[in-house]
Structure 1
């Protein structure tokens, strides 16, 4: 393998790679089960999106157990030599959650297919319906906590100049007019950019212009010199904001996997509504 693949991969690049044996690719599709069965990129292996979350109330978005992670990634055939291509059918939320999970596992050989299934299908690339079952591996799970934010990582940093929070929920969830937990509102100081604003609908759900996104983040105080925590309700939508910051080269980002389902359901967490 002469050169590494870019983190942000275009459909044309992946189309060429499908016939290139110099890369040990593992294409992981986090689309819905229905869409995966209907069509997918040739060779793609399905991961049920919800399998990337523990699913345990009242904080369903938390990281699955080490045993669950072992089972998921052994089943899909992950091994240290594989370069993962992550994609989904919704513009990057679940694919971003997958990439965050890979960071937690310490597996950093990955790329995101820009625009995912929408780009691939709408621009005429080949698809298949065959359900791919790769040879299982015995994937040894070691959890790297660096990409993971917990409540106790956030509260002491609130108001710090070197700290920022990206709330990827809708404006209504952020301002407390739409309540999806016992309490509504947002973490004090959190900046709201809805994950949907990261998708360019004129370009088949590719990420929006990255220079403009970086300028917007800078203007809102979410610059690269800060530690940034991203969250939504269950760290699904904020998978896309985490991924966008990875692509932009942010050195210190964490995904708050408890997200608002934890923060808004606890009684000891500060909340703002302005």
Structure 2
């Protein structure tokens, strides 16, 4: 089997669509999956990647739920997973973070996802794919997971940076989606939407330009970077981008603002 890079284009996948050790996972909406998906793709509903329990609905599902999910889609250690979605990479990135959490590191992201695939004139299908369940054993690796207790005492540490992937209005506390609005002290705001080239089939923008932007904001690869949004969905893309750029120390804060903003013992800043 070929050696897949982390970031692949639709033409690369089209050329190798029927390789037996590929597992293509589609995290698009149910409607889009039913209408058109990459041939052979198995659907994962975005809600299956989160626990759904308020107030921090974006936290990881239980180990048993993850076991059931990845068994259902036919994941096994030898499979190389191709991940995509229909929105520019948020849910796909959340899935890649989840794969890191369960210790499966053989994966690639389809740049531009469903839109790039369809606009490239590649074949699609409507029939749902239901592979035989696998017997994979799930264990949790805490390395990619950020918890409040891990970093709340380290906010002033110069080697730690926090990437807030929400909108500027949420970051400043003008748009409030929890009991309290604002941001984690010292967090850097870069809206996930600024990473996506909407004029180029929802692909990522030029990687060199994005790296320069991150460096200018102090989100450089020599630091440990924790990324979050409201539910660790939008920050799925920021986590994925840092993986693509080769950042060695990144974590996803799965509690995100749904947890931080709904506690009364967490420090908060408002404004820029």
Gaps of 5+ in 1: none
2:108 counterpart SS class: strand
**Structure 1 residue 161: Cα displacement:** 1.0
Alignment of 1:229-240 (within 5 A): 229-240=226-237
The answer as to 2:168 corresponding to 1:175 is no
User: Helix, strand or coil: the match of 2:199?
Assistant: helix
Written as runs of structure 1 = structure 2, the 5 A alignment for 1:251-270 is 251-270=248-267
SS of the counterpart of 1:266? coil
Q: Aligned partners of 1:52 and 1:148: how far apart in 2? A: 14
Aligned mate of 2:72, from 59, 69, 75: 75
List aligned pairs for 1:27-66, cutoff 5 A.
Answer: 27-66=24-63
Q: For residues 217 and 163 of structure 1, what CA distance do their matches in structure 2 show?
A: 14
Distance in 2 of aligned mates of 1:212 and 1:153: 31
Does 1:132 find its partner at 2:138?
Answer: no
Deviations 1:89-145 (A, max 9, x none): 000000000000000000000000000001001111110011111010122110000
Matches within 5 A, 1:106-255: 106-255=103-252
Quick check: 185-194 or 153-162, which moved more? 153-162
Return the alpha-carbon distance in structure 2 between the equivalents of residues 26 and 46 of structure 1: 11
Instruction: Establish whether residue 13 from structure 1 lines up as the match of residue 12 from structure 2.
Output: yes
- Counterparts of 1:157 and 1:100, CA distance in 2: 23
CA-based RMSD = 0.8
Deviation at 1:202, TM superposition (A): 1.4
**Cα offset for 1:186?**
0.2
**How many residue pairs end up in the alignment?**
271
Residue 24 of structure 1 pairs with residue 21 of structure 2: yes
Question: Which residue pairs with 1:102 in the alignment?
Answer: 99
Q: Deviations over 1:17-50 (max 9, x none)?
A: 114x3x5100000000111001100000000101
User: After TM superposition, what 4+ stretches of structure 1 lie above 2 angstroms from structure 2?
Assistant: none
Q: Which moved more, 1:207-216 or 1:152-161?
A: 152-161
TM-score normalised by the chain length of structure 2 = 0.98
Alpha-carbon distance in structure 2 between the residues aligned to 1:111 and 1:149: 23
Q: Partner of 1:196: helix, strand, or coil? A: helix
- Secondary structure class of the residue paired with 2:83: strand
